[in-house]
A and B are shown apart, each in its own frame.
Chain A
Amino acid sequence: MRELLDDLERWRAAGVPVVIARVVEVEGSAPRLPGAAMAVAADGEVAGSVSGGCVESAVVAEAMRIHQNGERRMVTFGYSDDEGFAVGLTCGGTIRLFMEPFDW
């Protein structure tokens, strides 16, 4: 999240709503470690990343839903895809993200 701080501060100052996605767990081969983070502003601007580019567009889509409903939730991408996302990591690993509005 360190690399997101400048963008988060800028968005906060401008009053732009933001959703943050953080990798909290990885299994198997996955490109980024827990702590990798990505922020999606309500206007669609994106900062950071949570994988090697495999799931970022799905994260943006989920972030847009969270911009609507304000939910905080876990989202899993990968082979053990029990939360119904048809998006996986091409490397075969699984990542679990915690996604929430940036309201803290």
Chain B
Amino acid sequence: MSDLFERFRLAMSAATPLALATVIEAEDPAAVGAKLLVLAATGVATEFVGTLGNEALDRVVGRDAEGEIAAGRSGIRHYGPAGEARERAVAVFIEVFAPPPRMLVFGAVDFTAALVSVAKVLGFHVTVCDARAVFASPRRFPGADEVVVDWPDRLLDRVGATLGPRDAVCVLTHDHRFDVPAVLGALRTDVGYIGAMGSRRTTAARRERLVAAGVEAQDLARLRAPIGLDLGARTPEETAIAICAEIIALRCGHGARPLSDGTAAIHGDPTEAITETAP
């Protein structure tokens, strides 16, 4: 069965969206551990490798796994022996491996190098982009997956359609010649986080330029500027933490207050308070 692991490993390194379905409970103990690998590369038909031991079950689980890949969700599902719904003879763990989220960083400045480092720790695929070749050299950003010499709007025209809710665009140029086209381009995508660095004054001036360019109020509300949480960060490294902390908080819908200030569930819904019961 080692062929399955090899396919799994290769698909992971190729960043193919995939799911690994494993029978974890079954009436027949010999069925436990059976696996179906679901490879959902974009633009081609989904490929299935392996079997859960029953063709009909494979079909149903394969279809469910495609849905879970789209939703980016892992979990247990129950089926009848041949994939029947509303039966519990077989429990299948469908584990989804989504490609890493992407971060586009515009502006090849000192803050960029620190942001690249922190974003890599968080598992982002990081692209640094600057129109000035003298700054945008791969040697300055050894941690980046990609360093692109181009204008921000042109890069966003190329890759914007692939950006989604888990991805981030960070605009660190604080020069309106670059950051206005970067923000305009980012607002045309479904990217989950858009932040732009700059002083209060730079932020106000940029806002005026964006409004003049026709950006509506509800789109402006997507822009986090000045970028980052108010941690009191001063150094590039501290600023990178403040930016990434804001990205996490926004994605999770949490308010980024100290946990010690509240009673809500730490890992759960941020609005749900825990009621301690007396012993």
Contact = CB atoms under 8 A, between A and B. Distances in A.
Interface of A: 1-2, 5, 8-9, 12, 22, 24-25, 29-31, 33-35, 72-74, 98, 100, 102-104
Given A29-B265, A34-B74, A98 B35 contact: no
A12 B9 CA distance: 12
A33 B267 CA distance: 10
B12 A98 contact: no
B22 A98 contact: yes
B266 A24 contact: no
B32 interface: yes
B33 A1 contact: no
28 contacts: A1-B20, A1-B95, A1-B97, A2-B12, A5-B12, A8-B5, A9-B9, A12-B2, A22-B93, A22-B95, A24-B24, A24-B76, A25-B75, A29-B265, A29-B266, A29-B268, A30-B267, A31-B267, A34-B74, A34-B93, A34-B95, A35-B74, A35-B95, A98-B22, A100-B33, A102-B5, A104-B4, A104-B35
B5 A12 contact: yes
B95 A74 contact: no
B73 to A, nearest CB: 9
Contacts of A34: 74-76, 93, 95
Nearest to A8: B5
Contacts of B13: 5
B265 A24 contact: no
Contacts of A72: 32-33
Contacts of B121: none
Interface string B55-76: 0000000000000000000111
A104 B51 CA distance: 12
